[in-house]
Amino acid sequence: MTRPAPGAEQPHPPSRLSGESDVRLDDDLLDFHEIEGEGFDLEARAGLRRVAGIRTDLEDVSEVEYRALRLERVVLMGVYGYGDAIGAQNSLTELQALAETAGCEVLEGLAQRREKPDPKTYVGSGKAKQVRDAVLASGADTVICDGELTPGQLRALEEIVKVKVIDRTWLILDIFAQHATSREGKAQVELAQLTYML
């Protein structure tokens, strides 16, 4: 199909929905490669078209409605040894940056000082109840632990805090999953997640 000269009146084909067409077909659109600008994926947005006059019930579906997506709300939890308060603060700050990269809203960060993580719940039972109280007070839906938890620790902590619990490794795998674009990349991330769940 040949393009008419610029500025020439372009006929619109008749609409199958009504007498006149208010729909612009792909042939009527600009060549998106000729538009300058960075950061805009115009070709991806080319699939979105405004179709006037089509309605469902009382809502005009031709209008694009932008809604604020609700971010996952999280509480961070870390365990550090005696005399390592600065290291714990740095580690929780890094975990906060990772959580924000994953699209989470960090509500609170808690840390417990102990020689080594509790084998049953990662944190002691008293601190686990404090985490539960912080989750209830803040309305968080997830607790992210700054360390690698065993499946038993994850389950035991979830039973106490009553929300989803993940660890640093799972958070990093989630970030990779969100940013993987190729089929091979997605498959590798999925394999890593499945291996980690074992």
pLDDT per position as a tens digit, 59-77: 444 343 333 445 789 999 9
CB 60 within 8 A of CB 126: no
Q: How far is CA 183 from CA 59, 103, 197, in A?
A: 38, 22, 21
Long-range contacts of 115-120 (CB under 8 A, 24+ apart): 115/81, 115/82, 116/79, 116/81, 117/79, 117/147, 117/149, 117/153, 118/153, 119/153, 120/152, 120/153, 120/156
Q: How far is CA 95 from CA 43, 76, 103, 135, in A?
A: 36, 8, 12, 17
Strands 142-146 and 72-80: parallel
Confidence of residue 131 (pLDDT cuts 50, 70, 90): very high
Phi and psi angles of residue 117, each rounded to the nearest 5 degrees, phi first = -60, 145
The DSSP bridge partners found for residue 76 are 109, 144
Look at residue 9 in the predicted model and tell me its pLDDT: 54
Look at residue 48 in the predicted model and tell me its pLDDT: 47
Q: Where are the beta strands (DSSP E) in the chain?
A: 72-80, 104-113, 142-146, 164-167
Pick the more confident residue, 147 or 12.
Answer: 147
The DSSP bridge partners found for residue 166 are 144
What are the tens digits of pLDDT across the range 87-116?
888 888 999 999 998 888 999 998 888 888
CB 55 within 8 A of CB 72: no
Q: Can you tell me the distance from the alpha carbon of 95 to that of 78, in angstroms, rounded to the nearest whole number?
A: 9
Which domains, and CATH codes, for the chain? 13-66 (no CATH), 72-174 (3.40.50.11060)
Look at residue 37 in the predicted model and tell me its pLDDT: 46
What are the tens digits of pLDDT across the range 20-63?
444 444 444 444 444 444 444 555 444 444 445 444 444 444 34
